[in-house]
A and B are shown apart, each in its own frame.
Chain A
Amino acid sequence: MYLGIDVGGTHTDAVAVENGAVRASCKIVTRHEDLLASINGALEEILAQVDAGAVRQLNLSTTLSTNALVQGRIDDVGVLVSCGPGVDPASFAPGRHFYIIDGAIDHRGVESRALDKAAAARAVDDCRKQGVNVFAAVTKFSIRNPSQEIALKEAAQDADFVTMGHTLAGRLGFPRRVATAYFNCAVWRLYNGFVNAVSESIRAMGLNCPVGMLKADGGTLPLDVSRSFPVQSIFSGPAASVMGIIALCDIRQDSVIFDIGGTTTDIAVFAEGAPLIERDGISIGGHPTLVRALRVRSIAVGGDSALSVAGGLVRVGPQREGPSMAAGGGRPTLTDALNAAGRSAYGDVAASEKGIADMARDYGVDARKFAETAIRSAVDHIHQETRAFLAEINERPVYTIHEMLEDRRIVPNRVYLMGGPSHSMSGDVREAFKTPVIVPENASVANAVGAALTRTTHDVHLFADTQRGFLLIPSLELSEEVGKNFDLKAAEAEAKRRLGERLREIDASTGFDDVEITESSSFNMVSGYGTVGRNIRVKAQVKPGVLERINQS
């Protein structure tokens, strides 16, 4: 049996899944000031229905780190960077303790300027005097040569915690690496305190299973591993829902998924059944990071979006002024329009009908027609945003003639709907998108189902330079010598092998077969009139997936 808990902005959902069926579920109001209590509350309700001894895995998706960042409840971080010339780092420096240490590595991984270790030590001292005890150590091109980050870490050896940029991701992007390392440190203390408390309380409830933390990329990280990478737990909410729909439906085609919530609708896109992942990484507080995430777009249309009339057109959202009138609010929302149009019967239907009738009268139109127009307007808005989102996805740059000519475009031919108003809006969505629309059973707890069934994911980047005779897998802190004959095939095999090893180390349940190569290139390096070596880049990953599917009747 798998347990999943998704601590969301409004509700905390929990489910227990066994043999393709949801055995237990609950939904409680999230207590933002005490997330542990929300988790405990949900867990208690579930464990009252199922046997704790039968639980094989518990996965959590929490807003802890996200909230901490939004509310500024984070630690001061000493950020030590060595970057040499280039874009002025002052333009993206996070936090107040930012130190540029002399030193530089170039794009080939060659140290073009030695690190000023004395300056690094002085910076650390300076931070300690100001009570700063966590440090981010980041070098430009550290993923091609991590030596300066390692030296920066050594300069801060007595610190409570140090994040080295190259351990976070193997991708290029120095400002993103700086921001990611910064946020990782900023929430480290809070996150670890939370993990301690959660571990304690779930043991107290008799659970002895492995615990996973959901990441934004639709995968999990074992709780203990996540202690060093708390930034990975950020923005996992949309991923829980997307993974939920994968568990609920057997998606095989290009598809669009809508999760219609109270204030927003999240749009996710699937290519041949697999969710798309952001090419870069999510932004946190305006800082782009290297945190991998499923590609999700949020638009400001939801059940609680207020109706308004402008220029003779009925609009839904973007503002939200309290809940729907059906739920005791003071102004008609999309939910009220659905009630008044006879599509749903949520809460106080009479209140919805009155609110819509009053509003319609002000504009001299029939109430029912007004409600229908509002619903269509909401769906049209979602439709337009989806088209723009798809256009953006299909515009993604490519770098080879082969890909340019192949021009693989995503053309969805299925729409999946989740969230409160799904059933009542499916007809309009079908009409707007001219594709079949599917509303899965159990969609209301899809997010918790997603959390429960999500597998461990991991990815590694391998970089090899046979002229200089080395290979690196930065996130595994691994470097090896390679000979002149090391080639792309050998590099792919090595990346797969190392990723497989790492996976078995952190999570025995993920099979080696799930590893796939997603990027792979080898360039002959030429000097004068001859080839002097190969410059090889390989990315291997375990793609997001679920442990099992929920049977649909």
Chain B
Amino acid sequence: MHNDKNKLGIIFFPAFDWAISPTHPEREERLLYTQDQLWEEGVFDIKGVCEYKPDVAERTDVERAHFCFPDVDAVTTRSHMIAAGGAIRAARLVLENECDKAFALVRPPGHHAMKVVHGSRGFCNINNEAVMIEYAREHYGIKRVAVVDTDCHHGDGSQDVFWHDPDVLFISLHQDGRTLYPGSGFPTECGGPKALGRTINIPLPPRTSDEGFLTVLDRVVLPILDDFKPELIVNSAGQDNHYSDPITNMNFSAQGYALLNQRLSPHIAVLEGGYSIQGALPYVNLGIILAMAGQDFSHVREPDYNAEAIRQDRRIDDYVDALCDQLPALYFDPPSTPEDGSFSNGCYVRKKNIYYDTDGITETQVESLHLCDDCLGVLKVESKSSVNPKSLGVQLYAGACESCRSLALDMVEQARLKGDYRFIQFINRCDKEYSRYGY
């Protein structure tokens, strides 16, 4: 019989009755073969592995992490609330010590969902990890969290949500943005003025194989995690780096994903993308689960696995080597100012244009962070999109100083009285109050 190494909770919610559209990659069938494989392999009979039902996230859980315009209900469906609830359940299992580790195998994904949400981009509406982390921080008193995003696409949503937060270390490994959606995720993007070096982007060239991923993990990710000492490590476990994925160009394997998970040893994994639903997901998920449970995964292999066919080119070895030499400095010795944006009147300001490819929405944003020497300051986002008139989001961080607190309250009050905002949302982490106006 199996030894129980780790108690692993799996929240498996395939949403068998939900799709973006009938032939969309994000459709009912996506986790069908994964379920078949996990059941046939007897994963849930392994001692220490247990299946749990997701929670259903509440509106407040989303409002704690996002500015949703016009409101949460308008930009989410029940499936999103259950996927985010699945991530919350994973955090509860771990933080309440019911499990050592937890894997939220849920859909739809979330890592392209940014701080402000007007609709769906990159198949994501709300950011499951962000909702989970803010829930965990509010309910369990943890502070420092690391998110390692191993989806093939740059986790631009998660990067945006945590851009100004020095207590969340966000590391994304992905296919180089010059060759793949969403086109971002370069090393120069390394965090806002208060969180420089807390966003680390590792763009890898197309056809990077197990070797490249594991080298980057050993030489960049793990040393940084060692230093950061997070209370919780979260893996955004996208599986589209797989050599068989239809919409990407990487050469990662199930065995590679399992090894990565074994070495990273995250407390929580949350499924992100991955659309080779027959050739990759069944095997990658099996590998990740066995690795998280501390079980032997050496026999996990895709039926069509061919080491020669996916071997990494020498030029990729060299490229990865160079990345490994340069990237740790971004964390250990970050630049003194962000690469973009400008400073004016005690604020850091940046302007953004965002395209929601899934819903075809365009958004323009002016984001400004009031800079404070005593706390993280006050974040203010003015946003306008093709579906919503100019709206405002204000966030006060946990542990804010008294003057920032009054500034934020005043900002919201003034906006309500005199502003020309259609919708206003106030995330007050300091007092744990989440309010909306203009509805």
Q: Which residues of A contact B (CB under 8 A)?
A: 84-88, 91-92, 104, 106-108, 112-113, 140-141, 172-176, 280, 286, 288, 395-402, 404-405, 521, 523-526, 529-531, 535
Contact = CB atoms under 8 A, between A and B. Distances in A.
Contacts of B52: 395, 397
25 contacts: A85-B283, A85-B300, A85-B302, A86-B299, A87-B42, A87-B300, A88-B298, A91-B296, A113-B303, A141-B40, A172-B36, A172-B39, A173-B42, A174-B40, A175-B42, A397-B51, A397-B53, A399-B16, A400-B15, A400-B16, A400-B17, A400-B18, A402-B17, A404-B78, A525-B29
B306 to A, nearest CB: 13
B13 A395 contact: no
A404 B54 contact: yes
B282 interface: yes
B82 A401 contact: yes
B282 A107 contact: yes
Contact of A173 (B14, B18, B22, B40): B40
The 3 lowest CB-CB distance pairs between A and B, nearest first, are: A112-B303, A175-B42, A85-B301
Contact-residue size bin, chain B (C-beta under 8 Å from the other chain) = 35 or more
A526 B42 contact: no
A107 B82 CA distance: 27
Given A87-B299, A524-B22, A92 B1 contact: yes
Interface string B10-33: 001111111000110001110011
Nearest to A281: B45
Most buried by B among A87, A104, A113, A530: A87
B227 interface: no
Contacts of B78: 401, 404-405
B116 to A, nearest CB: 26
Nearest to A398: B53
B300 A399 contact: no
A141 B37 CA distance: 9
Contacts of B282: 107
B188 interface: no
B315 interface: no
Nearest to A396: B53
A526 B23 contact: yes
Given A92-B42, A174-B41, A397-B12, A523 B28 contact: yes
Given A108-B278, A524-B28, 13 more contacts: A85-B299, A86-B286, A87-B286, A173-B39, A173-B40, A175-B45, A400-B18, A404-B54, A521-B16, A523-B29, A523-B32, A526-B29, A529-B23
Interface string B169-205: 0000000000000000000000000000000000000
Contacts of B54: 404
Interface string B48-71: 000111101000000000000000
B373 interface: no
A397 B54 CA distance: 8
A453 B282 CA distance: 45
Contact of A85 (B17, B46, B303): B303
B82 A91 contact: no
Contacts of B314: none
Contact of A401 (B35, B45, B53, B79): B79
B126 interface: no
Given A108-B278, A140-B40, A176 B45 contact: yes
A340 B269 CA distance: 58
A530 B23 contact: yes
A80 to B, nearest CB: 18
- With most chain B CB atoms within 10 A of its CB, the pick from A107, A176, A400, A535 is A107
B82 A106 contact: no
Nearest to B32: A523
A551 to B, nearest CB: 42
A400 B37 CA distance: 18
Contacts of A400: 15-18
B290 interface: yes
Interface in B73-101: 78-79, 82
Contacts of B304: 112
A307 B79 CA distance: 52
B2 interface: yes
A404 B82 contact: yes
Contacts of A86: 37, 41, 286, 299-300
A468 to B, nearest CB: 12
Contact of B40 (A172, A529, A535): A172
A396 B2 CA distance: 23
Nearest to B35: A399
Contacts of B27: 524, 526
B301 to A, nearest CB: 4
Nearest to B34: A107
